[in-house]
Amino acid sequence: MQHEAIQEITAAGTLEALQAVKTKYVGKSGLVTRELGALGKLPPEERKARGAEINAVRQAIQAALDEREAVLKREALDAKLAGEAIDVTLPGLPLPAGGLHPINRVYEDLVNIYERLGYTVVEGPEVEDEHHNFEALNVPWYHPARDLQDTFWLEEVPASFNGPLEPGAAPAPSVPRLLRTHTSPMQVRYMVDHEPDLKVVVRGKVYRYEATDATHESMFHQLEGLVVGDGISMADLKGTIAEMARGLYGAGAKVRFQPSYYPFVEPGADFAVYWDNPRGESKWLELGGCGMVHPNVFKAVDDLREAQGKPRVYEGKTGFAFGLGPERIAMLKYKIPDIRYFYANDPRVIGQFRGELG
């Protein structure tokens, strides 16, 4: 029996076939098992010798089974690995590349134009205080923009919120904070920290507590410009805006100024550009506000500087400022019909800008 069993084990070509042989000989009712079961029927004097004999056969069969099983398993594994071999010459799986958000693309365009004109580019705190956002910009306490309905007012936050306190400085008295409603407070902050002459653009997010629609969001972006020196005039302002319009829309772009009111400029204006779109869609596009820096703003800056022990250097200076929303430019440039698409995180919209970094 041992001889036949070993032959069958050697001939088993698969793990299933081997299992069948195992069952046949050493399974619950296998041939060897049955022989062992029959020992009880033998006379006691034969039982011991016969038992040892059958056990030896069983052990030999089991050893052969184990050995064959190991061989078959290794063969099965080798076959599986051969089937799964990696072809290193195949191209890898493509990883989707990111891309610049349309607003950042417009910012890139704008910043390139202004850097070429010699401007410094800065950002600034989004959490502001009333003084920088309104008061120092000559916005009177009764101006509607300061209303609870138009501004996101914050619970009071620690004085260190916008950066570390000077070592050893006493914490400033807590003042009401708000989310800046425009980038103009950075005009004040920049002038407090720098002396004229200066040329600076500010980029960043602003917030307004207002209902959203296709052209209004409660969080959007602005680009703010400020130039201060001696003898700066409205002509410099117009030339600068015209240069920006040509940079954005090509040599044919025209600029229109209309009188407007902003408390921090005098005179103030709104500006729009008209550009020759080859698809015949040319029209005036209102871009933002601008004007000559109001003397009260220079005075407020000098007051803040004086409080910090810095010299008063702004009285008697002249300057212009402007502010615009890049969302408008991006909506037209990329034909995005609703401003809310920019921030809805819908990959069907934003995914269209994937992989293009410019």
Neighbouring CB atoms inside 10 A of 63's CB total 12
Stretch that binds ligand YSA, among 8-16, 41-49, 171-179, 210-218 (CB under 6 A): 210-218
Nearest to 300 by CA among 183, 136, 141: 136
Binding flag, residue 265, ligand YSA (CB under 6 A): yes
Map the footprint of ligand YSA across residues 146-185, applying CB under 6 A.
182, 184
Q: What is the dihedral of CA 179, 100, 270, 131, to 10 degrees?
A: 20
Q: CA 146 to CA 140: how far, in whole Å?
A: 9
Binding mask 279-298 for ligand YSA (x = CB under 6 A): ---------xxxx-------
Q: Which is nearer to ligand YSA, 123 or 156 (CB)?
A: 123
CB 212 within 8 A of CB 218: yes
Q: Which is nearer to ligand YSA, 106 or 265 (CB)?
A: 265
What is the DSSP code string of 88-136?
A: TTSPPPPPPP----HHHHHHHHHHHHHHHTT-EEE---SEEEHHHHTGG
Nearest to 344 by CA among 222, 217, 223, 221: 217
First to last CA, the chain: 81
Binding flag, residue 216, ligand YSA (CB under 6 A): yes
Q: Which is nearer to ligand YSA, 102 or 291 (CB)?
A: 291
Stretch that binds ligand YSA, among 58-66, 95-103, 214-222, 302-310 (CB under 6 A): 214-222
Contact with ligand YSA (CB under 6 A): which of 262, 275, 314, 342?
A: 262
Binding flag, residue 253, ligand YSA (CB under 6 A): no
Q: How far is the CB of 318 from ligand YSA (least distance, A)?
A: 13
Q: How far is the CB of 144 from ligand YSA (least distance, A)?
A: 12
Q: Which is nearer to ligand YSA, 60 or 274 (CB)?
A: 274
Q: How far is the CB of 179 from ligand YSA (least distance, A)?
A: 13
Q: How far is the CB of 81 from ligand YSA (least distance, A)?
A: 59
Q: Read off the tokens for 350.
A: 């934003």
Neighbouring CB atoms inside 10 A of 7's CB total 12
Strands (E), 134-274: 153-154, 177-179, 198-207, 219-229, 254-260, 265-274
Contact with ligand YSA (CB under 6 A): which of 255, 325, 330, 331?
A: 325
Phi, psi dihedral angles at 69 (to 5 degrees)? -60, -40
Binding flag, residue 319, ligand YSA (CB under 6 A): no
Determine how β-strand 120-122 pairs with β-strand 198-207.
Answer: parallel
Binding flag, residue 124, ligand YSA (CB under 6 A): no
- Binding residues for ligand YSA, per CB under 6 A? 182, 184, 208, 210, 216-217, 220, 222, 224, 262, 264-265, 288-291, 321-325, 327-328, 339
